[in-house]
Structure 1
Amino acid sequence: MSSEAALHHLDAAPPRRENFPVASLLLPRSVRRHLLAVYGFARRVDDIGDEAPPGERRELLDAVDADLRRLYAGRPPHLGVVRVLAPTVRACAVPAEPFHHLVEANRRDQEVSRYETFADLLGYCALSANPVGRIVLHVFGAATPDRIALSDRICSALQILEHCQDVGEDLARGRVYLPAEDLRRLGCAEADLTAVQNTEPLRDVVALQTRRAAHLLDEGAPLVGTLPGVARTAVAGYVAGGRAVVAALERHGHDVLGRAVRPRRTVLLRAWLRILARGR
């Protein structure tokens, strides 16, 4: 099967529900198109790393990486997953590096299934999550070094919260994103990750990661106040989504096995309005 045919086959996978508004209807249509293209690319690359036949994943990721190089060399991309980026790359002058990092994160997923420390996990987030925030800042023409540093904190927090929500799903893929150091210290064995119900040690580990993510969100939230107009609206929605997930995890007692812990829409909207008000 060709790379394009294999990627087309993955189109049948249902879209994932995000914890935050990816491209709110409050934003101009042109901006929404760019944001949907960026998140669509990120999710498609994740689908390759998670859902493609294991023996084909590296080859498909290499094909996407090569097609990105083709795009940035001024040649027409071969793959639909890269072609949709072309208008955004041209209009917003997005650099190539963040897109290549997203591909590299999924290569790492094929080789690394455990992270020893929280610092190690943040190193993974630097490839798997932070590039998306950097691309979004370029879409809004707001990618300054200070803003990028704040965005990285927000994106790492969102990634960590997603790992907290998806403990069982990740383990089914052979991966554990909860730091091994924390699992040992809090007495959580890998068997706890496959239990029918959450054990107290697992809840303690998830609670610890949730607190860390909440702290990162607090550190990154001042980004909202530095942004003008629609950029402020969009980024406030991302921070609000993270805070709504923190609230959901706390509401469920950090019990993440056998249930889908998702943010309540009303909680997200209230947080969004509060963050926008503070940003002004």
Structure 2
Amino acid sequence: MNPHDYCQQKAAASGSSFTISFTLLPREKKQAMTALYAFCREVDDVVDEVEDPQVAAIKLAWWRQEVERLYDDGTPQHPVAQALAEVIKTIPLDKELLLEIIDGMEMDLTQARYADFKSLQLYCYRVASVVGLLSAEIFGMTQRATRKYAHDLGMAFQLTNIIRDVGEDARRGRIYLPMDELQRFNVPAADILNSRPTEAFAALMQFQIERARGFYEQAFAALPAADRRQQKPGLVMAAIYRSLLEEIAAEPGLVLTHRISIPPGRKAWLALKAWIKG
């Protein structure tokens, strides 16, 4: 199995909506996006699947070395990094941004709570906005403002993920919603950890949803017309993720006990509609 086939298999196994967004890309860009996505999955799996935090930290340190090898001599060991080695020959992906993704994963080993939105925003930047910036580079951009678009869209996606996964994260002992906002809305952490929907929790979630909506709007406003066509894959994902956010908004208390999702057929329709609209 060659490195790009490995990445394709890794991406397909995830079942993520993100893979829909780059299926219509030209072959080189599609391979680049698949390699980037596979890298994100590999380092994320370290945190999700390795129970011992010390072992997970060692594995992430190995991935950090692998990124260094990728850029130093072009001879990394892992098939995902080998695929990225081919990518960076033609697309200038920033090494520091790949390392930032690992920084974000390391935060999950040491933090299960976030005091305020500022601290959460750093986490979201590292695990999502950075991916948006790298993706925008792969898609192709000519305008500086496109970086602002990519940053804010990544933030919107991660906030949507956090909103969707409140219950799932709580069952792992994690709460990503800022602690000061729980206090402001009079939602005890115990209500979230024990899946107790209340009116106060619904109000807290509505506040989170409005913030995510705001980042979507900021992103769209920042995207220059000159780069809109090249950045269509991000707009495809935005169509799917915004639809997911509105599904949650209809009954936010469900996130404590259910994983809200968009059916595959509807995802495909939203993706096609967004691609045509461009």
Question: What TM-score bracket applies, with the shorter chain setting the length?
Answer: 0.7 to 0.9
Does residue 26 of structure 1 match 2:37?
Answer: no
Query: What CA deviation, in whole Å up to 9, does each residue of 1:138-172 have, x standing for no partner?
Result: 11231643111111111011001101111122223
- In structure 1, stretches of 5+ residues that fail to align are 1-7
Q: CA RMSD in A?
A: 2.6
> Counterparts in 2 of 1:55-94, with a 5 A limit?
55-94=54-93
| 250-259 or 55-64, which deviates more | 250-259
Secondary structure of the corresponding residue to residue 200 of structure 2? helix
Does residue 53 of structure 1 match 2:57?
Answer: no
Alpha-carbon distance in structure 2 between the residues aligned to 1:58 and 1:33: 29
Percent identical pairs in the alignment equals: 24
Classify 1:14/1:25 alpha carbon distance in 2 versus 1 (closer, same or farther; 3 Å): closer
Classify 1:254/1:155 alpha carbon distance in 2 versus 1 (closer, same or farther; 3 Å): farther
Alpha-carbon distance in structure 1 between the residues aligned to 2:185 and 2:162: 18
Q: Which has more helix, going by share of residues?
A: 2
Q: For residue 238 of structure 2, what is the aligned residue in structure 1?
A: 239
Query: What CA deviation, in whole Å up to 9, does each residue of 1:218-274 have, x standing for no partner?
Result: 110142734254x23212112212211211112334420221111345377448636
> Counterparts in 2 of 1:93-112, with a 5 A limit?
93-112=92-111
8 Å Cα contact 2:120/2:176 also seen in 1: yes
Secondary structure of the corresponding residue to residue 175 of structure 1? coil
How far the C-alpha of 1:21 sits from its partner, in A, is 4.6
8 Å Cα contact 1:224/1:276 also seen in 2: no
Alpha-carbon distance in structure 2 between the residues aligned to 1:275 and 1:212: 26
Classify 1:173/1:73 alpha carbon distance in 2 versus 1 (closer, same or farther; 3 Å): same
How far the C-alpha of 1:181 sits from its partner, in A, is 0.9
8 Å Cα contact 2:20/2:271 also seen in 1: no
Q: For residue 178 of structure 2, what is the aligned residue in structure 1?
A: 179
8 Å Cα contact 2:232/2:275 also seen in 1: no
How far the C-alpha of 1:29 sits from its partner, in A, is 2.4
TM-score by length of 2: 0.86
Alpha-carbon distance in structure 2 between the residues aligned to 1:267 and 1:16: 16
Alpha-carbon distance in structure 2 between the residues aligned to 1:253 and 1:113: 22
How far the C-alpha of 1:15 sits from its partner, in A, is 3.8
8 Å Cα contact 1:225/1:232 also seen in 2: no
* Residue type of the alignment partner of 2:180: E
Number of residue-to-residue matches in the alignment: 268
8 Å Cα contact 2:10/2:38 also seen in 1: no
| 72-81 or 122-131, which deviates more | 72-81
Alpha-carbon distance in structure 1 between the residues aligned to 2:131 and 2:58: 23
| 174-183 or 192-201, which deviates more | 192-201
| 87-96 or 246-255, which deviates more | 246-255
Q: For residue 212 of structure 2, what is the aligned residue in structure 1?
A: 213
Secondary structure of the corresponding residue to residue 227 of structure 1? helix
| 87-96 or 251-260, which deviates more | 251-260
Alpha-carbon distance in structure 2 between the residues aligned to 1:89 and 1:215: 33
Classify 1:268/1:224 alpha carbon distance in 2 versus 1 (closer, same or farther; 3 Å): farther
8 Å Cα contact 1:23/1:35 also seen in 2: no
Alpha-carbon distance in structure 1 between the residues aligned to 2:226 and 2:260: 31
TM-score by length of 1: 0.86
| 217-226 or 131-140, which deviates more | 217-226
